[in-house]
């Protein structure tokens, strides 16, 4: 579309939002864009905000390409229409609705609940912000057909979103995802949306339900007696202004930890996230206030959850007493190894257990699974695929743990999404277990590297916002497909996997123990020396992500620094070679 045509198209679309069917505040904001901000007008109206396979996520504001009362409403009506078709034989469809601490989240949650109720559904609406994993648990507990949580996870403050869940408590996957998208796309006007709530259909879920959820988590403890001995273990926790503020300390207390320190400034529920640039525990700057507080209090472990408390950042102390921020792969390795080891020590391994990881998560987890004689399944990026494997094996095999490099982990099967509340408790328990045995988590990490090899990973994300950014990301993926490198880091490329076309020099790699991996816009490049590079556009943010994984042996724990530096330089060299430095 020519630029002049685009401007006409956008102004026509925006003009429809001046109709009195839209509230006065919305009309005023649209009018201001029409008169004063052409570029923002284009970004707000040049397309419909896409309802993707996970729901909606975008910048809040007026317009068809923004998260607001009306795009939330149209998404909810489309989902409602699909649920009525899919569960036509059920007397009353049930759904659960939750939200996090973001600006407008409560309002969007109430709108969502109102529309569901107007469509005749029984709605369980949480009375206040809650962790996303508690929503997953609620769906299963109340035997709902679906659920929605209003959140943009760890995105910056201007974002919000809408995550849709199915009756197993997991995020929606095929075939329902595409069919729901089709229903949402058929909602062309807010006239198609039933906003008139039937309040008698809405039941408020209060704090009593938190005890049910947290009691289930407490049952996951594998070292209760050890925690009794180490109950003074100093833990510093921050919710980063988010929904973990009550439940994470509650669970730590139920596990038996009596010395949990918090960061008062970050206990404040505020969707502007005033103490951090971005409420993302993957961003080291988000942890700076917690680290300073930990230094003051001599905390032995730092835990930080994102706004909807499904991801957790972990900081431990190294041999010099300095605080070391773990990446997602290191945290996953420590958590999964602890669980595999304790399941073995307590006689729980019977021969049909399994773990699950994503294809971009460290292969160290696969190595550990082999050693402990449990199965390891690889799935696409996105915890919904881990949840799907749990569902497939329900009643047949026993799920121990799942993890992804982006700080998301799960143990137990009563939740079907990554759960930072569970993860915080079990990581703290793992730390107490190591302390009881005269070690730290850093000692354990080095021991793992010495036994299995030193795995080093790094994630590089290139942000490309707006319409031009989307086109640039698409072009970058096309270039990699058309002109893949013949060698990387002086090592020959021996295999390239293209998950979009299901093409590979060895198609068997697309299968793992009989689990087929669906098509997705992901490329993986493998070299002769064991280097692995994965490239994919983010499904939730305007980014293209590059995952680098290299490996070397660690002969002695005293060689840690030298080996770490050598692997860092290797990744630096690869970045330079690919013009990503």
Query: 410-451 pLDDT, tens per residue?
Result: 999 999 999 999 999 999 999 999 999 999 999 999 999 999
Q: How many domains are there within the chain?
A: 3
Choose the final residue of a domain: 206, 228, 250: 206
Which residue did the predictor score with more confidence, 515 or 335? 335
Residue 276 lies in a domain: yes
Choose the final residue of a domain: 421, 450, 479: 450
Choose the final residue of a domain: 185, 206, 227: 206
**Mean local confidence (pLDDT), 69-86:** 97
Co-location of 240 and 331 in the same domain: yes
The range of the structural domain enclosing residue 431 comes to: 213-450
Co-location of 53 and 162 in the same domain: yes
Sheet holding 235-238, edge to edge: 260-262, 235-238, 301-305, 312-317, 323-325
Co-location of 406 and 494 in the same domain: no
The enclosing domain of 271 has a CATH number of 3.40.120.10
Co-location of 334 and 379 in the same domain: yes
Co-location of 273 and 379 in the same domain: yes
Co-location of 279 and 300 in the same domain: yes
Show Cβ contacts of residue 255 under 8 Å, excluding neighbours closer than 6 positions.
218, 221, 224, 227, 425, 428, 429
Residue 414 lies in a domain: yes
According to DSSP, residue 171 is labeled B
Residue 1 lies in a domain: no
Residue 378, class by beta-carbon neighbours within 10 Å (0-12 exposed, 13-18 middle, 19+ buried)?
buried
Residue 85 lies in a domain: yes
pTM: 0.93
**Mean local confidence (pLDDT), 173-197:** 93
Co-location of 79 and 188 in the same domain: yes
Residue 359 lies in a domain: yes
Which residue did the predictor score with more confidence, 466 or 279? 279
Q: Please state, in angstroms and rounded to a whole number, the distance separating the CA atoms of residues 149 and 476.
A: 32
Co-location of 198 and 148 in the same domain: yes
Co-location of 360 and 463 in the same domain: no
Residue 35 lies in a domain: no
Query: 4-32 pLDDT, tens per residue?
Result: 789 999 999 999 999 999 999 999 999 99
Sheet holding 491-498, edge to edge: 454-463, 543-552, 532-537, 523-527, 491-498, 487-488
Query: 526-577 pLDDT, tens per residue?
Result: 999 999 999 999 876 788 999 999 999 999 999 999 999 999 999 999 999 9
Question: Which residues does residue 225 pair with via DSSP β-bridges, in sequence order?
Answer: none
Residue 27 lies in a domain: no
Co-location of 140 and 220 in the same domain: no
Co-location of 379 and 502 in the same domain: no
- Count of CA atoms in the C-beta half-sphere (13 A) of 488: 28
Co-location of 238 and 317 in the same domain: yes
Q: What is the CA radius of gyration of the chain?
A: 24
Please identify every residue annotated as catalytic. 153
Contact criterion met (CB below 8 Å) for 195 and 165:
no
């Amino acid at each position: 579309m020519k630029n002049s045509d685009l401007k006409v198209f956008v102004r026509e679309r925006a003009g429809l939002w001046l109709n009195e069917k839209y509230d006065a505040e919305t009309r005023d904001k649209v009018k201001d864009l029409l008169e004063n901000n052409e570029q923002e007008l284009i970004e707000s109206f040049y397309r419909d905000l896409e309802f993707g396979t996970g729901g909606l996520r975008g910048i809040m504001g007026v317009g068809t390409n923004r998260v607001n009362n009306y795009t939330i409403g149209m998404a909810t009506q489309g989902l409602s229409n699909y649920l009525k078709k899919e569960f036509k034989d059920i007397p009353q469809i049930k759904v659960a609705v939750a939200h996090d601490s973001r600006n407008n989240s409560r309002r969007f949650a109430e709108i969502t609940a109102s529309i569901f109720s107007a469509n005749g559904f029984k709605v369980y609406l949480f009375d206040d912000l809650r962790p996303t994993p508690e929503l997953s648990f609620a769906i299963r507990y109340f035997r709902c057909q679906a659920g929605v949580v209003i959140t943009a996870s760890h995105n910056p403050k201007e974002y919000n979103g809408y995550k849709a869940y199915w009756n197993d408590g997991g995020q929606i996957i095929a075939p329902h995802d595409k069919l729901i998208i089709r229903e949402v796309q058929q909602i062309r006007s807010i006239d198609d949306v039933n906003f008139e709530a039937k309040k008698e259909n809405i039941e408020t879920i209060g704090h009593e339900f938190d005890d049910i959820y947290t009691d289930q988590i407490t049952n996951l403890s594998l070292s209760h007696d050890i925690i009794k001995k180490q109950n003074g273990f100093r833990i510093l926790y921050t919710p980063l202004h988010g929904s973990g503020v009550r439940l994470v300390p509650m669970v730590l207390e139920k596990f038996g930890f009596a010395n949990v320190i918090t960061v008062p400034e970050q206990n404040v529920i505020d969707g502007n996230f005033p103490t951090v640039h971005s409420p993302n525990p993957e961003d080291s700057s988000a942890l700076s206030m917690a680290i300073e507080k930990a230094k003051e209090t001599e905390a032995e472990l730092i835990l930080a959850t994102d706004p909807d408390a499904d991801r957790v950042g972990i900081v431990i102390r190294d041999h010099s007493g300095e605080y070391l921020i773990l990446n997602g792969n290191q945290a996953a390795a420590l958590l999964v190894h602890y669980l595999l080891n304790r399941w073995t020590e307590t006689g729980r391994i019977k021969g049909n257990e399994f773990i699950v990881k994503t294809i971009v998560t460290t292969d160290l987890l696969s190595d550990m699974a082999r050693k402990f004689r449990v199965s390891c399944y690889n799935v696409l990026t996105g915890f919904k695929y881990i949840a799907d494997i749990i569902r497939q094996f329900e009643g047949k095999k026993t799920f121990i743990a799942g993890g992804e490099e982006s700080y998301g982990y799960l143990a137990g099967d009563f939740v079907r999404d990554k759960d930072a509340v569970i993860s915080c408790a079990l990581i703290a328990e793992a730390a107490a277990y190591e302390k009881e045995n005269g070690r730290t988590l850093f000692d354990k990490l080095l021991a793992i590297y010495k036994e299995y090899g030193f795995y080093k990973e790094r994630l590089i994300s290139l942000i490309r916002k707006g319409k031009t950014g989307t086109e640039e990301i698409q072009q970058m993926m096309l270039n990699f497909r058309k002109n893949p490198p013949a060698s990387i880091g002086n090592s020959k490329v021996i295999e390239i996997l293209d998950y979009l076309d299901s093409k590979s020099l060895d198609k068997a790699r697309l299968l793992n123990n009989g689990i087929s991996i669906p098509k997705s816009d992901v490329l993986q490049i493998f070299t002769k020396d064991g280097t692995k590079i994965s490239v994919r556009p983010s499904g939730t943010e305007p980014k293209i992500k590059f995952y680098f994984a290299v490996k070397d042996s660690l002969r002695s724990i005293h060689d840690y620094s030298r080996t770490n530096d050598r692997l860092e330089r290797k990744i630096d060299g690869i970045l330079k070679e690919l013009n990503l430095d």
